[in-house]
Structure 1
Amino acid sequence: MENPELADLRHLEVHGSRNVSDGLNIDFNKPPDEPRQLEPDDLERLKAIIRRAGFIEGNEPQAVLHMLLQPRTRDLLNPSHLCHMAFKQALAALLIAISPKLETLAIFHIGEPSSKTKDFALLTMLRRANRTPYPIPYLQNLNRIIFPPDECSSGNDGFYYNIAEDYYHRLNLVRRLPALMSVSFSLVSWNNEAGLPPPPKSANYSDISFTHSNLAGNESDMCHILDSSKALHKSTYTIGGRAYPEGGKVSVSLTSIIRCLWRHRHHLEELDLDVEDNVSWGEIYGNESFKLESTEGIDRDEDIEYEELRSLSLGVHTLCFLARGIGPYSDRLDAKAFSLVHTLPASLRNLRLYGKGEKLGDPTLNLKDHWHEPNLDVDALLENLVAEKDTRLPLLRIEGFDPVIPRAKEVPEYADEDHPLLWK
């Protein structure tokens, strides 16, 4: 590049696979057998950009150069070959180094912390940028990072939630970047080797999104991630579009998620929680929420409203559960006197409803086959909200009546590849 300082790249995607099966004996400290030939001036410019990217320690300059000078052979074109991954990461790192305006980075997979790829260029660059206390000439304007599913993984068969994502490891690579506001994941399932949880209030991102993901039964991982934000402004969690590998469903602990979100009520502006198809009626209308967790940790004397909440997207039963209160029956608002318009935050401007009129949940989610009938007329509560909102919430805009917005649903295990719920 003649004038690298003029690079105007704003968005970069780095595709990759976690499966490295070929070329594991290659040593990039040594030059390739038949290195790609460059003109002397081009070679010097390449070396200068490598230094500019911060690869100046030990044998790093030579190793990165060797990664980039590999000949165009079958090895370089094979996604599971070490040469392919090394070249791609080195090229991406140099593009980032000469792109000070970069705003969005999508990373499919760039290696595990203990794998053969742990010293590859992009991983090294992110680790250093994340821990450097002083400004560097790149990644200073990056405000959004997308972690799509590992498209080349053997676990990504396009039907199940079976990609065990190392979400903690990825967040720890980027959480201190100065301009970072948003991190998003898709098609994530629980992983007991996800890395070390980021410490509470240690991350600059304020917008955390998990879509088409299923961490059901392991909401503590989700809460660790939400609590890592210094000031959480937006949270998204949607389940749906894939099938559970073991069949059936796993119940989401709605109580755990709501208690976690309560800790962020002074900053939270937008919440999208589309998980109701995986919530048991026993938790919403029975007493399971009290059994799952006590009310410890919520100070009744504190301001009970979400101060900054502007936008809320919830299943209709989840909305009532949140507004009515969680815990034992004695702590919940009386069903006969319950009114949504008096319990929703006065700051709310947009309310998006999922699944109005749809039957809630699945009997298999009700513990001990004990069916808990709703003790609320949810449809009547929603109709009253519309009729009464002008008195207390005149600026509130409500979606989900006409047309009805379906709840996110998982794909049945007996479905085929053409099932309309399948997300690709």
Structure 2
Amino acid sequence: MEKVFASIITIGDELLIGQVIDTNSAWIAQELNKAGILVKNRVAVGDVWDDIWNALDTESKKASIVLITGGLGPTADDITKPLLCQYFGGKMIMDEATLAHVTDIFERILKRPMIERNRKQAEVPDVCKVLKNERGTAPGMLFEKDGVIFIAMPGVPHEMKWIMTAHVIPLIEKRFSTGFIRHRTLLTAGIGESFLAEMIQDIETALPSHIKLAYLPNYGMVRLRLSGTGTDASVLQKEIDIYFQQLLQRTEKYLVTDDDIPMELVVGKLLKERKQTMTTAESCTGGYIAHLITKHDGSSAYYQGSIISYANEIKERLLSVPHEVLETQGAVSEETVKVMAETARATMQTDYALAVSGIMGPRGGTEQKPVGMVWVAAASAEKTVTQLFQFRFDRSRNTELTAINALNLLRQLILGKL
């Protein structure tokens, strides 16, 4: 089996100053991994000629494939295309197929005149193979030098993904005999990473050299991922499945799911299987739980909606939380979230409801109720369960932790574990 390494270079000042989060390299790495390509390095550079040039030199010494995103646009700061032309010793020419594509976009779809700056999108180095971009105006470009493949793609995520899917992955699979990489992942909750490692130590020790076990803690939970490499996909999958079943049996008490999906989909699958529905009543998370649920296609089958009761007046008026409870116990209390959940379920006429109220920070905490304190309630027609959490991070992280742990509480209620 041939080991093939790739490097990913993302270009743009906006990446270095944090104005834009680099999601491109993470997505590309995942797709390469599926194709059996090992990512050697991920590098972000600014819109600086020498920095890009040096990155190309450095990464091409480490990898057989160098993937580049960004800097292919029509403005002055987009220097990737002229740089690549010079780097590979070419000259700029007009690619007629790309020009026709760009013209069609402006005249037929956008119904706008095409200026000279837009025409330049169709200019490419004469030493490259053009990769058509069906999702935009800047084409992808493939170069080769000293046995290394270089592929430049737009930085716009949906355009990059199209070129990767339509051109890059098929090319890689045809060009290299990479073998196969297979993964299986399970998610646990209620047990720490070190205790989990002790529990499954003998299984991990017995793994053959081509199968690895990774511990991936997040949100107070731990994912276990088995990864294997081999030349026969079916044989490798069967081998991984054997060890995965051992992990499932050993971690049964703490198992959340044996699928590599987020918590909101775990809950969604349970509800869909049972033909049941849910709603949310959110205070401190401000609709974040609703966002997690509804970002997935098909969530309307089980999710009815949310009441975002950030202000106490809304808790009273829409969720029937008694004024005296808010006065004596406070918005962040077990009594408040119980009423929120029960009222939301009755109002929305759903099988389940989830309610949260807490202090996300950085201000608002007291000695009795510090930042990160969150009450959660999950309600069904038969019972309401509550849980108190004390998180210790910044506002964004506390919000994420609240949402995932609240959904896990609901999962346990649905399964009758509470």
TM-score bin (small chain): under 0.3
TM-score by length of 2: 0.24
Decide which structure has the larger Cα Rg and report it: 2
Greater relative contact order (Cα 8 A, min sep 6): structure 1 or 2? Answer: 1
TM-score by length of 1: 0.24
Structure richer in helix, relative to its length:
2
